[in-house]
Amino acid sequence: MIIISLLVSIVPMFGGGPAWAVSAGSRWGADYFPNISLVTQDGKTVRFYDDLIKDKVVAINFIFTHCSDSCPAETASLRQVQKELGDRAGRDVFFYSISIDPEHDTPAVLKEYSQRFRAGPGWTFLTGNKADITLLRKKLGLYNKDESGQVTSNHSISLIVGNEATGKWIKRSPFDEPETLVRLLGYSLQQHAYRTNPGAMRYDKAPRLPELSRGEDLYRSRCDSCHSLGAEGGLGPGLSGVTEKREHAWLARWLKEPDQMLAEKDSVAMQLFDKYNEVPMPNLRLSDADVEALIAYMAGSAGHAEDVMTTNDEGGAGH
Ligand code: HEC
């Protein structure tokens, strides 16, 4: 009996032991993560497990800086999450954006990219060896099989958030409402907060999510990180009155393929681009129905978002 139990406890020490030995622990145990070397935008070499995730609450995504569609939108929405977490970013929560095109994305290129998006403290951009990064993506379940080694914009547009100490990991879309991510990273994943203040996250105290129209839902998850519905600009222009200012056809095409219109040097698009030259508006791969829903939403709410909420509340009985 003694011999058998000794054997069982020793086997996992021979790294990469049989599957049954691994399954005794968490799938996300320390042994699971490749402890690869990565280089930060400031040229510092760090280890993925030891320096970046051990004992931390983290959000990790994969990007490449010359990606024109999903990545800028992802980066902009993460920026909003980071802003909302305020000084907790870099203290309680750490953000990592890792390049899937490390040959092109040198530390200097990443630094310039992070500045363009005005990424704040607690957010590190990383590059490294391509094979290592691919392995990491596979291990994190953020590798898209169709890529076959190509850097494409259909790379997995997912984000993984987790707490290494508790082994709790959740795959999210960066297009989740920033609020949802703020709540996950700032509260649900912070195990200690739970313990010291058990009433804080009571189910019956959870705020009720308003019922959203398709247009509002899309707007909040895809557009809000760069635009406001008022006059003031963010990474992109304020959208107050835009449905009156622009022809419907122009607007619809712009939402559908801004990259194409910029490539064709459409005059309105170029004027806007000159003014907001840090980031181009990304092609968000919207369907025609999505585009119409968004235009209807912008027409109804630009400049007076509060009214929409009230209408929703009153309209509850109609559903
Ligand atoms: C990554 C940031 C970003 C995201 C996300 C984004 N935009 Fe933009 N948008 C811009 C920028 C920047 C411009 C200005 C043109 C340029 O520089 O490409 C712009 C321009 C526009 C314009 C033209 C404004 C005008 O005065 O004519 C509209 C309309 C617009 N965006 C709507 C949207 C909608 C709707 C969404 C969501 C589906 C969205 N944008 C998502 C950055 C973004």
C-alpha to C-alpha distance for 305 and 315, rounded to whole angstroms? 16
C-alpha to C-alpha distance for 261 and 280, rounded to whole angstroms? 11
223 in Cβ contact with 294 (< 8 Å): yes
C-alpha to C-alpha distance for 304 and 285, rounded to whole angstroms? 27
Nearest to 62 by CA among 146, 154, 148, 145: 154
Residue identified by tokens 């449905």 is 243
Q: For 186-233, what is each residue's pLDDT tens digit?
A: 888 886 544 445 555 555 555 565 677 889 888 988 898 889 888 888
Determine if ligand 1 sits within 6 Å of the CB of residue 89.
Answer: no
Determine if ligand 1 sits within 6 Å of the CB of residue 272.
Answer: yes
71, HSE (Cβ side, Cα atoms, 13 Å): 22
Probe ligand 1: pick from 67, 74, 225, 281, max atoms within 8 Å of CB?
A: 281
Q: For 111-132, what is each residue's pLDDT tens digit?
A: 999 998 888 889 999 999 999 9
Question: Would you state the pLDDT for residue 300?
Answer: 85
CA of residue 242 to ligand 1 center, whole Å: 11
CA of residue 213 to ligand 1 center, whole Å: 20
Residue 268, C-beta contacts closer than 8 angstroms, at least 6 positions apart: 246, 250
Residue 42, C-beta contacts closer than 8 angstroms, at least 6 positions apart: 107, 111
For the chain, the maximum distance between any two Cα atoms, rounded to a whole number of angstroms, is 81
Whose C-alpha lies nearest to ligand 1, atom 30? Answer: 255
C-alpha to C-alpha distance for 232 and 239, rounded to whole angstroms? 8
C-alpha to C-alpha distance for 100 and 62, rounded to whole angstroms? 6
CA of residue 236 to ligand 1 center, whole Å: 5
Determine if ligand 1 sits within 6 Å of the CB of residue 237.
Answer: yes
CA of residue 288 to ligand 1 center, whole Å: 17
Average pLDDT over residues 48-54: 94
Q: For 238-257, what is each residue's pLDDT tens digit?
A: 999 999 999 999 999 999 99
Question: Can you say how many angstroms the Cα of residue 22 is from the centroid of all Cα atoms in its chain?
Answer: 30
C-alpha to C-alpha distance for 290 and 284, rounded to whole angstroms? 10
Q: For 55-74, what is each residue's pLDDT tens digit?
A: 899 999 999 898 777 778 88
CA of residue 230 to ligand 1 center, whole Å: 13
% of the chain residues with pLDDT over 70 = 74
Question: Would you state the pLDDT for residue 318?
Answer: 38
Determine if ligand 1 sits within 6 Å of the CB of residue 294.
Answer: yes
Whose C-alpha lies nearest to ligand 1, atom 12? Answer: 236
CA of residue 85 to ligand 1 center, whole Å: 24
Nearest to 160 by CA among 178, 181, 133: 181
Rounded (5°) CA angle 200-203-206: 75
